[in-house]
Structure 1
């Protein structure tokens, strides 16, 4: 691998504390002031709390149009329901990939009264040609997500895309995403190959990851997102202690984005139409 094909860190972003849904406290990393989007990714939230008041109100019924929502649980228990008849029981290690398409109304509500609730929600844009497609729902239990053991210790859970010849269960997504959950023990290193033209990021959710950035290594702290430059591979390592992080990549759409609340379209007129359609019960 030549140095010209190596990915580097484009920028490092820390999330901002906010709340959403019924008042669930979370860390917004993509979709805030510092990083409004990373095409095709519109939003990344990490929710993590063992204080019931931070999450019990959940995400009551609300609409979406024009993009996909991805919920990945690390701990806790959420229940999904929508107006297309889909129901989901999201436990630790499970993932839900919901294509809102032309319109869906759904809720995600905690199924616990105490304990740790921890996970991520990612919003993935849809290309203009697919924004009014029929809604689609994919859900996979932890047991359905393949885990690849690494030679130097640690593991990679493959939610979407392919790692070391192993493909994740999520399929049929327009942006051809990769979504990995990686565990590296202290002293381990890993070279991650991603489609060269895809936009990609690393988000560290436990301890500190060391990322090779050209001639040097840069630390990425817990709660920080490293947006990567385009290229073929990125080299990372765990120096002092075990580290856990997600790696996400997808095909950029390079299309205009008009977004307001739960609707993401290409023009302001399309967003206005989404409000009209929702108010008229057409979702």
Structure 2
């Protein structure tokens, strides 16, 4: 009996990420811009932020998760549920807002922090889950290593390495580092949308060998069956993040920091926030 040949992924779209100055203390670039719910499902938005103190104040969330990945600098995080901690380069915070949380992220005095923040939608049945925060320190994130390849498994799995990160819906998030000329293949579960954001270097992606370079987002062609993605570094080291998740295919009502399923639930979220019933 022949071994089953797994479907090979290809890059369907790619675009450059363009930073824009929002204020004297905040520059931002949308990697996945909000509003394209069906195209990016289960991801709501993905931002590349450079900010210092004063960029953000305390703010609420409901019905979704925020995933903060620090590239440079640091942030001090706290919320109204008693969670607090410090994130430095390579650290990740996976915050489930659920039924409601008020939080803030503050860089140290005089520091400009470079951070990626991903918003992940929660399934309707878990929109009002109890809030929780998972702080994933760099030295605690499991690592897959092969010749010329180092992969930090932030969520999901890569090869035989599996993260302990808790998810309400299956999400893969990997930091992938390849030495010049190195390559590897990542398996992707059936019916998962997948995106790559290149942080350093350039490489070839998918069975078609699509060229991607620093500052680009690559969206993979959706496949309903289990599949594989080939990644090959060019003549310089390659560093990127890969995210993948199964679409929820549920209605979305979103306004500001709240992401629910109906407009009535958004109104209720604002009422609860204003009345202190988060």
* TM-score between both structures, scaled by the size of structure 1: 0.89
Aligned-residue offset at 1:256: 0.8
Q: Is residue 2:134 matched to residue 1:138?
A: yes
| C-alpha contact (below 8 Å) 2:191/2:246 kept by paired residues | yes
Report the CA distance shift for 1:255/1:220 in structure 2 as closer, same or farther (over 3 A). same
Q: Is residue 2:254 matched to residue 1:259?
A: yes
| C-alpha contact (below 8 Å) 2:35/2:44 kept by paired residues | no
Report the CA distance shift for 1:3/1:239 in structure 2 as closer, same or farther (over 3 A). farther
Report the CA distance shift for 1:34/1:11 in structure 2 as closer, same or farther (over 3 A). farther
Decide which moves more: 25-34 or 223-232: 25-34
**Please, which of 5, 15, 19 is the counterpart of residue 17 of structure 1?**
19
Partner Cα separation in structure 1 for residue 73 and residue 61 of structure 2: 24
Q: Is residue 2:162 matched to residue 1:167?
A: yes
Partner Cα separation in structure 2 for residue 10 and residue 61 of structure 1: 38
Alignment deviations for residues 124-153 of structure 1 (CA, whole Å, 9 cap, x no partner): 0001111011111111211111222122x1
Report the CA distance shift for 1:35/1:14 in structure 2 as closer, same or farther (over 3 A). farther
| C-alpha contact (below 8 Å) 1:187/1:241 kept by paired residues | yes
| C-alpha contact (below 8 Å) 1:196/1:230 kept by paired residues | no
Q: Is residue 2:79 matched to residue 1:85?
A: no
SS in 1 for 2:170: coil
| C-alpha contact (below 8 Å) 1:64/1:263 kept by paired residues | yes
Partner Cα separation in structure 1 for residue 237 and residue 216 of structure 2: 16
Aligned-residue offset at 1:118: 2.1
Report the CA distance shift for 1:206/1:111 in structure 2 as closer, same or farther (over 3 A). same
Alignment deviations for residues 153-211 of structure 1 (CA, whole Å, 9 cap, x no partner): 1300111111121112312x122111100111111111111112111111101122211
| C-alpha contact (below 8 Å) 2:37/2:252 kept by paired residues | no
**Please, which of 201, 206, 222 is the counterpart of residue 200 of structure 2?**
206
Report the CA distance shift for 1:221/1:56 in structure 2 as closer, same or farther (over 3 A). same
Aligned-residue offset at 1:36: 8.2
Q: Which residue of 2 aligns with 1:224?
A: 216
Partner Cα separation in structure 2 for residue 266 and residue 79 of structure 1: 31
Q: Which runs of 5+ in 1 are unaligned?
A: 49-53
Alignment deviations for residues 39-65 of structure 1 (CA, whole Å, 9 cap, x no partner): 0000111124xxxxx423243200000
Partner Cα separation in structure 2 for residue 277 and residue 23 of structure 1: 31
SS in 2 for 1:60: coil
Q: Which residue of 2 aligns with 1:96?
A: 93
The number of residue pairs the alignment matches comes to 273
| C-alpha contact (below 8 Å) 1:65/1:102 kept by paired residues | yes
Aligned-residue offset at 1:20: 6.9
Q: Which residue of 2 aligns with 1:273?
A: 268
SS in 2 for 1:192: strand
Alignment of 1:182-201 (within 5 A): 182-201=176-195
Partner Cα separation in structure 1 for residue 175 and residue 99 of structure 2: 30
Aligned-residue offset at 1:32: 4.7
CA-atom RMSD in angstroms:
2.2
